[in-house]
Amino acid sequence: MADQFLRGRSALVTGGSRGIGAAICRALAEAGASVAINYRNRADEAERLAAELSDKGVPAAALQADVSVAAAVADLVAAVDAKLGPADILINNAGIAITRAVEELTEADFDTTIAVNLKSAFLCTQAVLPGMRARQWGRIVNISSGAARGAGAIGLHYNASKAGMEGLTRGYAARLVKDGITVNAVAPSLIATDMMKEQQALVSRIPLGRFGLPEEVAKAVMLLLDNPYMTGQTIAMSGGMAFN
């Protein structure tokens, strides 16, 4: 059995029903945490994952919410509290990737991307902070992207949302370090998720010669959760495409 260093802790993973989010949920469960799996539209996948974790003896709940909406986030955090206990761990993973060229990008595309990828991290963090501060313990990990620092393949709106997330990470980290709360980010590039199914040609860009795995991203998240001295940092994962 894995080291259960999170036993007795409760975690909320936004966008947790599949891909990187689901891998993080499984890793949290292995480490002993209760897991709230947030989803917006994919109820079946979220419920199946919650059942999978519950069958292993892990308290888990699938909770619907659009985390770009403040009222929905307030209800979500209250539901986590009621079902699993106050959230000690927040993984801001919810995101969208609307691929657009510069000349095709609309104001609606930009606003939606910022709301889902960046504003949601702000709303969820604000909602869990009072409890974390009261307990003098918290772990927040934001799932960024290599696009925060590189050109990326999705569009400048996506770049902006992820660069903003890393700025948010540093800003919160500086202000919460004395409250026993760490705030960090993981920035993966080209991970084998549904988003990459039609993008096999991109493997040629990766020196390692393959896409990263969601489970490898989850390992980086767990490293951050287990290290109280590490805050305000971004772990980049690119298979050798770029170096910090």
175, pLDDT greater than 80: yes
Averaged pLDDT score across all residues of the chain:
94
Could you report the per-residue pLDDT of 32-73, keeping only the tens digit for each?
999 999 999 999 999 999 999 999 999 999 999 999 999 999
Q: State the pLDDT at residue 95.
A: 96
Could you report the per-residue pLDDT of 130-171, keeping only the tens digit for each?
999 999 999 999 999 999 999 888 999 999 999 999 999 999
| Predicted confidence band of residue 108 (pLDDT cuts 50, 70, 90) | very high
When computed from its CA atoms, the radius of gyration of the chain, rounded to whole angstroms, is 17
CATH-assigned architecture of domain 10-237: 3-Layer(aba) Sandwich (3.40)
| Residue 203 DSSP symbol | G
| Predicted confidence band of residue 1 (pLDDT cuts 50, 70, 90) | very low
Q: What DSSP string describes 120-138?
A: HHHHHHHHHHHHHHHHT-E
Catalytic residues: 158
197, pLDDT greater than 80: no
Whether the Cβ atoms of residue 117 and residue 95 lie closer than 8 Å to each other? yes
Helix (H, G, I), strand (E, B) or coil at 104: helix
pTM of the model: 0.95
Cα–Cα distance between 211 and 104 in angstroms, integer?
Answer: 28
How many percent of the chain have pLDDT more than 70? 96
How many percent of the chain have pLDDT more than 90? 84
79 CB neighbour count, 10 Å cutoff? 17
Q: State the pLDDT at residue 102.
A: 95
Q: State the pLDDT at residue 243.
A: 81
Ramachandran bin of 47, using left for φ above 0, alpha for ψ from -120 to 50, beta for the remaining angles: alpha
Identity of the amino acid at 88? D
Strands 10-13 and 34-39: parallel
- Which residues, including other chains, have CB under 8 Å from residue 114's CB and lie 6 or more apart? 157, 160, 161, 164
Largest separation between any pair of C-alpha atoms in the chain: 52
